[in-house]
Amino acid sequence: MPRSARQISNTKVYHIILRGNDKQDIFYDEQDYRKFIKEIKETKEKYQYILYSYCLMPNHVHMVLYDKNESLSKIMQSLEISYSKYFCKKYEKVGHLFQNRFLSKKVETKEYFIYLCRYIHQNPVKAHISTINNYEWSSYKEYIGKSELIEKKMLLKKFGEKNLDAIDNFVNYHKTNLEDVAGTDLVEFEMRESLTDEEVRQYIQNISKIDNINKIKQLNKKERNEMLRKLRIIPKTSRAQIARVLGISKKIVERAMKEE
């Protein structure tokens, strides 16, 4: 399935994920993390974007940034190329370090922005690597102390008018257990590129109200095609995947979904 066109945010704020190829680690030691942070500083100076939050994990990177000059692709290309050259030279690696094109999700509401930043800061906890306040490579420490990479006023003002009150509320907000974080599942789902066959199967069951979806291919042509057209709303999937899950010819699915 071809990659969809990149979403354009009305706010120019994006959540970025940069992953290691085949889930391989992209940071092996402290020097690697510091090198990537150095590259962020340089790209910020060059492209004049604003960074709101970040977290460098062993095999991926999260960033939330304001791309005021609409240079997102150039920003990420610069980061990827510069760091890849450093990494491959240091570890004598060949091939691609990063997985395909970086992922981006537009951020257009205050609520989404707030819990997205918390989700990012809680990544080390979810991965059982560290507590939030002890993790060295995220913007959390900058929010409660001195900021070097980020612009923290926009997020902190959501937690209070006075700086000390805002920081206290910010810290308490981050103490919420991961299972209780509103939007955590949404963030992970939206950043994924595709659904599993089982997830597609569940979608089809919910839409069709049919427990055994194998019965769909036994419907008469008119009923079957009407049902297939309803499945066009399933996100992050291809017609080939729907055909595979249903055991129906891809051509039949394509023709049905083109009909009005």
Q: Which of 120, 94, 78, 91 is nearest to 32 (CA)?
A: 91
DSSP class of residue 20? B
Q: Tokens for 12, please give them.
A: 């120019």
- What domain range includes position 246? 197-258
Model confidence over 92-139: pLDDT tens digits? 988 899 987 788 888 988 888 998 999 999 999 988 999 999 999 999
In a domain, 8, yes or no: no
Residues 143 and 202 in one domain: no
In a domain, 235, yes or no: yes
Q: Tokens for 204, please give them.
A: 């089809």
**Per-residue pLDDT at 186:** 60
- Angle CA 33–88–81, to nearest 5: 75
CATH at residue 74: 3.30.70.1290
Residues 178 and 202 in one domain: no
Residues 88 and 69 in one domain: yes
Model confidence over 171-184: pLDDT tens digits? 999 987 655 444 44
Residues 130 and 205 in one domain: no
In a domain, 5, yes or no: no
Residues 138 and 115 in one domain: yes
**Per-residue pLDDT at 174:** 92
**Per-residue pLDDT at 2:** 44
In a domain, 161, yes or no: yes
Pairing type for strands 50-57 and 60-66 reads: antiparallel
In a domain, 82, yes or no: yes
Residues 165 and 202 in one domain: no
Task: Answer left, alpha or beta for residue 93, where phi above 0 means left and psi between -120 and 50 means alpha.
Answer: beta
Query: Which of 136, 163, 190 is the last residue in one of the domains?
Result: 190
* Amino acid letter, residue 107: V
**Per-residue pLDDT at 185:** 56
Please provide the distance, in angstroms rounded to a whole number, between the alpha carbons at the two ends of the chain: 23
Residues 249 and 173 in one domain: no
In a domain, 4, yes or no: no
In a domain, 46, yes or no: yes
Q: Are 136 and 202 in contact (CB under 8 A)?
A: no
**Is the entire prediction scored with pTM above 0.75?**
no
Residues 125 and 168 in one domain: yes
Residues 25 and 154 in one domain: yes
Query: 13 - beta bridge partners?
Result: 66
Query: Which of 172, 190, 208 is the last residue in one of the domains?
Result: 190
Neighbours of 24 (CB within 10 A): 15
In a domain, 7, yes or no: no
Residues 129 and 251 in one domain: no
Query: Which of 175, 190, 205 is the last residue in one of the domains?
Result: 190
Q: State which residues of the chain have pLDDT below 70.
A: 1-7, 177-193, 260
Neighbours of 197 (CB within 10 A): 12
Residues 59 and 184 in one domain: yes
**Per-residue pLDDT at 115:** 84
Residues 86 and 181 in one domain: yes
SS3 182: coil
Q: Are 76 and 16 in contact (CB under 8 A)?
A: yes
DSSP string, 91-120: HT--S-SB-SSPEEEE--SHHHHHHHHHHH
**Per-residue pLDDT at 1:** 41
- Angle CA 154–160–161, to nearest 5: 85
**How many structural domains are present in the chain?**
2
